[in-house]
Structure 1
Amino acid sequence: MVVLAGCASAPDTPSRYSISQDRAPSNDFDISGLEDARPRYEAPRKAGNKSPYTVWGKKYWVMPSADGYVERGIASWYGEKFHGHKTSNGETFDMYTMSAAHKSFPLPGFARVTNLDNGRSVVVRVNDRGPFHGDRLIDLSYAAAKKLGYQSSGTARVEVAAITVRPDGSMMIAGAPYPNAEAPIAVSDQSMASGQALFVQLGSFSQRSPADGLSRQAKQQTERSVRVRRIDTADGAFHRVQVGPFVSAEEARREQQALASRGFGQAIVLTDTR
């Protein structure tokens, strides 16, 4: 059996952990200043990427690439029991950072995780294996679960979209371009003439309900037009919550920063159809 240290759903080794049941930290951890993981290119490591591997008699395969991956399911979280122990790729698990465990992601990797019940999104770095209990899709660190608002309930319905980064720094999310928020945005006259424009996108969901919820929140925080735009892709339909359009990248950036200061930390600027 592969040793999968660190993940809340990995087989327990009594001599390894000082407490028997996982739990939240005793202190009231403040997440208000906690930033999401910053996607960057990292070559897959040998540690944690053996494929197939076996846990409790069941085989699992690691994806050769997470490019285009998007899936919905149940998220859980892990915390104090595993804090300070090794993750599957040899790093040290820190429940106060934005990390996650997944059964098949290449390690390390990055993903956007969206709580389908409240519309909140976070970006996490995947550096561990699991979860292996029931139908759970992903285990988040305690900090990431708290940012998504489900640390008290223990689980949540989520959408997981892989963020893949190429050696040149370009990024994709679930197979679509994912612009770096710090990079300049170029909008050509041709694209503007063909019905394209700049928007600040607050989130993208496979279901309409959380998109509508996020749209209502945004309308209370901006005087700009807010829309929910449905697009159909090879992976199914997505509902994009967008503010705009804007006539310049500078104008879009100002609105992005304003919305980020009002709690919309996942806002990105992109070009889309008017």
Structure 2
Amino acid sequence: MQRSWSLTALIAGIAVSGVALYPVIASDFEEFDFVDPLDLVLPAEEATAVEPSAPASLELETSVAEPVVPVPVAPPEPPKPVGPVVVSTHSGEASWYGPGFYGNRTANGEVFRRGTMTAAHRTLPFGTKVRVTNLWNGRRAVVRINDRGPFIGHRVIDLGHGAAQELGLTSSGVAQVKLEVLR
């Protein structure tokens, strides 16, 4: 069942119920705080005073914007090496020394012991680290220079017992090696 109301019947119904229709005045709603629905969606803009524009006949001030100078960006620093830096490379024949020299002093004053990762070189400063690679088997070891030698012609380094074992040349006595002086 559908009801249809006419405007006259609606007004008559309101009049019968004792409610009178009066015009609504803004002062009737002063005690209520109403919010404009658009204020909930749009950001509020602050009102600013607008200065009247100067007439075209007056001379207008022209300002030239200063050019924007880009701030120089420093290039990124190159990555620092993770391991030691190779200063120089040499190659030649290596030998090792040990049994007859254990307990004696090396050229820098240390006591020479079995199993040390040290080496003798003719010119490198004491304390220099050298990565030695056995070219016959690819094994590597880092040694510290603490003695002078070798004193046999064409050899480039004389390894301590520990370094010789690490490189796998104790049984052969000599091997072709690559030396990388590290910093």
TM-score w.r.t. structure 1 length? 0.35
1:79 pairs, out of 62, 87, 98, with 98
1:93 aligns with 2:112: yes
Letter in 2 for 1:163: L
Distance in 2 of aligned mates of 1:142 and 1:106: 20
Which secondary structure does the structure 1 equivalent of 2:87 belong to?
Answer: coil
Give the number of the structure whose residues are more often strand, by fraction.
1
Which secondary structure does the structure 1 equivalent of 2:165 belong to?
Answer: helix
Shift of residue 108, structure 1, vs aligned partner: 1.7
The C-alpha deviation readout for 1:199-245, integer Å capped at 9, x for no partner, is xxxxxxxxxxxxxxxxxxxxxxxxxxxxxxxxxxxxxxxxxxxxxxx
**Equivalent residue, structure 2, for 1:25:** none
1:108 aligns with 2:130: no
Shift of residue 69, structure 1, vs aligned partner: 2.1
Which secondary structure does the structure 2 equivalent of 1:151 belong to?
Answer: coil
1:151 aligns with 2:170: yes
**Equivalent residue, structure 2, for 1:193:** none
Which secondary structure does the structure 1 equivalent of 2:179 belong to?
Answer: strand
Letter in 1 for 2:141: V
Distance in 1 of aligned mates of 2:110 and 2:92: 26
Structure with higher Rg: it is 2
1:120 aligns with 2:139: yes
The C-alpha deviation readout for 1:54-96, integer Å capped at 9, x for no partner, is xxxxxxxxxxxxx722100000000111111110011111131
Structure 2's unaligned 5+ residue stretches are: 1-82
**Equivalent residue, structure 2, for 1:32:** none
1:139 aligns with 2:162: no
Asked if the contact 1:98/1:141 (under 8 Å) is kept, the reply is yes
Distance in 1 of aligned mates of 2:88 and 2:121: 12
Would you say how many aligned residue pairs link Structure 1 and Structure 2? 100
% of aligned pairs identical?
Answer: 50
Distance in 2 of aligned mates of 1:97 and 1:133: 21
The C-alpha deviation readout for 1:136-180, integer Å capped at 9, x for no partner, is 00000122111111110100000011111xxxxxxxxxxxxxxxx
The equivalences for 1:1-274 within 5 A come to 68-164=87-183
Distance in 2 of aligned mates of 1:97 and 1:131: 17
Distance in 1 of aligned mates of 2:146 and 2:161: 14
Distance in 1 of aligned mates of 2:93 and 2:152: 11
Asked if the contact 1:100/1:140 (under 8 Å) is kept, the reply is yes
Letter in 1 for 2:149: G
**Equivalent residue, structure 1, for 2:24:** none
TM-score w.r.t. structure 2 length? 0.52
Asked if the contact 1:78/1:95 (under 8 Å) is kept, the reply is no
Distance in 1 of aligned mates of 2:109 and 2:159: 17
Runs of 4+ residues deviating >6 angstroms? none
